[in-house]
Amino acid sequence: MAAQLLLASRNAKKLAELRRVVAAAGLGDLEVVGLDDVHEYPEEPETGATFEDNALIKARSGAAATGLPCLADDSGIAVDALNGMPGVLSARWSGRHGDDPANNELLLAQISDVPDERRGAAFVSACALVAPDGVETTVRGEWRGRILRAPRGDHGFGYDPLFVPDDEAAGGRSSSELAPEEKDALSHRGKALAQLVPALTELARG
């Protein structure tokens, strides 16, 4: 029987990225399941001070409740001109969890008078993998870029329409204008998950 891996995210678009990157890593013997595939369990609030803390909160509760190895991502955007905020508050920056247009609008308004040369930012992803035997692995990926003055593009989610990666391969497009595989190849989440491939390969071996 194939080993199972629980991906603990309630964000459908993030979950799709996690599934895509794990699938692209070619871990054939790993069956990926989502929160909808397991019995409901109480999810702890994401009250950690860091992305790593929150990723561990999510992965630990998933592993404890299901007995499956559990992978969780906690992520966000850290804007230089806002001293790293929204950071861990990215999903609910406007006060409404997961309201991407409202979050984007508030962020743009807050830095409307920040000149182009100081509009740097980084997407950050911390991914935690918690195995049933209690072994925990935490990794982090960062993606540097700049914040636009208006949204552009319709792929991705969250702050993607406001973020132009520094990478030459992006050619000045926003991360919302990149094809999904292009985003995965450059993104914070792609970089974080790449570091988990050895641990995931171990899991797949059983």
Ligand X SMILES: O=P(O)(O)OP(=O)(O)OP(=O)(O)OC[C@H]1O[C@@H](n2cnc3c(O)ncnc32)[C@H](O)[C@@H]1O
* H-only helix segments in 67-178: 100-110
* Residue of 73, 74, 100, 184 with catalytic role: 74
Interface residue with ligand X, options 5, 9, 21, 69 (CB under 6 A): 9
For position 48 contacting ligand X by CB under 6 A, the verdict is no
Which residues are CB-contacts of 80 (< 8 A; sequence separation ≥ 6)?
118, 119, 120, 121
Q: Reply yes or no on whether 74 is catalytic.
A: yes
Residue 5: strand, helix, or coil: strand
Furthest CA-CA distance within the chain = 57
- The answer on whether 174 is annotated among ligand-binding residues is no
First and final C-alpha spacing in the chain: 9
For position 105 contacting ligand X by CB under 6 A, the verdict is no
Q: Are 192 and 73 in contact (CB under 8 A)?
A: yes
Q: Applying CB under 6 A, which part among 71-79, 108-116, 144-152, 164-172 lies near ligand X?
A: 71-79
Instruction: Name the residue with the smallest CB distance to ligand X.
Output: 158
Please state the closest distance from residue 50 (CB atom) to ligand X, in A.
12
- The answer on whether 28 is annotated among ligand-binding residues is no
Q: Point out the annotated binding site.
A: 9-14, 74-75, 157-160, 183, 188-189
User: Any idea which residues carry the catalytic annotation?
Assistant: 74
